[in-house]
Amino acid sequence: MTPLGIVLVLAVLTAFALRRGFTRLIAVAAGFPIGVIASVGGQPAPTFFTLGALACLWLGVEWIAGRGRVRDGSSEHRPGALSLVIFLGWSLLVTLIAPTVFEGIPVLVARGGIDEQFLDPGTLTYTVSNVAQAAYLVISIGVVFFLAKSPATTPGLLGIVLGIITVVSFWRLLSLGTGLPYPEGFFDNSTTVRIIEETPDGEARFRGIFSEPSGLAAASLTTLVFFALRLRYLGGWGRVGAVAILVMAAVNAASSTAGTFVAAGLIMVGIVVVFWIGGFVVNRTRLDPVLAAVVILVSGVGLFFVPTLIAFVESVVSVKISSSSYGSRTGVDLFSYLLTLDTWGFGVGLGSNRPSSFLATLLSCTGVIGAAFFAIAITRLIVAASAKPEYHATIWALVSVLVSKIVSSPNISDNAALLWISCGVLAHAAWSENREAEPAPGPPQRLSLMRR
């Protein structure tokens, strides 16, 4: 067992004694994306999935005891729940039978490397990756249901994950630059992931406590989105801490020098602008005067930095497009979309194909049906939770996670904590039986960055 594992085991025992503390402990464990508790049979036991498995066990025990069953019609309406279950069941079915039905067709082997597989694809057969990815998905969706049911799930729960990632990564950055003591290899102690800390040309890059800089860039973008929207609900030292985390996240993102932050960030800006304008025109919403003043002030100051920003974006884009990895990543994604067609939209199963984009993974591994039910589940969770303004920060954080994964994170298990904990928090908001926290009767409040 690793030192990190010993610490978390002691925390688990304490959390089980306190019960409500276990929900927060899952969020703490999720703050170590490549941290492992122990190695079992040569295979690592990741912190998030290990505690997630305990959460699933907890749910199972409560279900057997009868405490997790629906007792009246008031809790039957759970938007997105059925879609999540169908997505899980379909994904497992495809994973079970696809390697037999489509045996031997070319696929991108998960452990083969993108550049290598792009030049020389493998063939479809049953592998340990099928079992691992299927187990990860079962645990992940189990965590969603656990968080949805837990009374300790709050609108700020995702902030625990993002705060730990940001602070520990920034601590490591200070250590590299100033020699500040830092427990290297304690928080990011997995020995089975490929660590990337430099470009093919040997130029140093910063990865934080992720396996590569793009992971840090994606998490930093989500942190900026989440805490910027959570500020209005915080006060005193909580607001000071949130501002400090925002500053650290911005520094981490800049230090990563990853194109993921630029690409996903620009997409997020576009989504926000379209949503903002659409809400203003269609819903006739009133712009908050304070927000308007801030936007005008920032826009005025920002005009002086536009040439520098454009030059930076152009340099990042040109370097990325001219790199060999860009050609490989584009090629494997196109290969995966064609693979979806080759299997008549059925898919090849979880863990059987590993492209560069989450969307390409969904389509090629779980097929059109799996991707459709995943999209339905996410959409229904977002729409249902949007009636509660305190959950809007989590909604936009989830959008940021999905955008970043579509840009550069393929597996369902990659950065899984941010995706599934966000879904769990929104499920709690959408399925909660506690009517006291709901808005007063009247027209439903729509998801918006503006105040009515």
Residue 107 pairs in a beta bridge with: 122
Task: With 0.75 as the threshold, say if the pTM is over it.
Answer: yes
Q: What is the pLDDT of residue 449?
A: 46
Burial group, residue 134, by CB count within 10 angstroms (0-12, 13-18, 19+): buried
> What mean pLDDT is reported for the chain?
80
Q: Please tell me which residue, 389 or 19, carries the higher pLDDT value.
A: 389
pLDDT in tens, 117-152: 666 788 888 988 899 899 999 999 999 999 999 888
Angle between helices 416-431 and 128-149 (to 10 degrees): 30
Report d(CA 229, CA 160) in Å as an integer: 15
Q: What is the pLDDT of residue 293?
A: 58
- The gap from C-alpha 33 to its chain's centroid, in whole angstroms, comes to 11
How many other CB atoms sit within 10 Å of the CB of residue 212?
20
Q: Give residues with Cβ within 8 angstroms of 414, minimum separation 6.
A: 215, 405
How many other CB atoms sit within 10 Å of the CB of residue 113?
14
pLDDT in tens, 177-232: 888 898 888 888 887 788 888 766 667 788 889 988 888 999 999 999 999 999 88
Q: Which helix (H) or strand (E) holds 160?
A: helix 157-178
The three-class DSSP label of residue 184 is: coil
Q: Which helix (H) or strand (E) holds 46?
A: strand 43-46
Report d(CA 413, CA 44) in Å as an integer: 14
First-to-last alpha carbon distance for the chain, in angstroms, is 53
Angle at Cα 53 formed by Cα 52 and Cα 56, nearest 5°?
90
Q: Please tell me which residue, 434 or 127, carries the higher pLDDT value.
A: 127
Structure tokens at 309: 């920003």
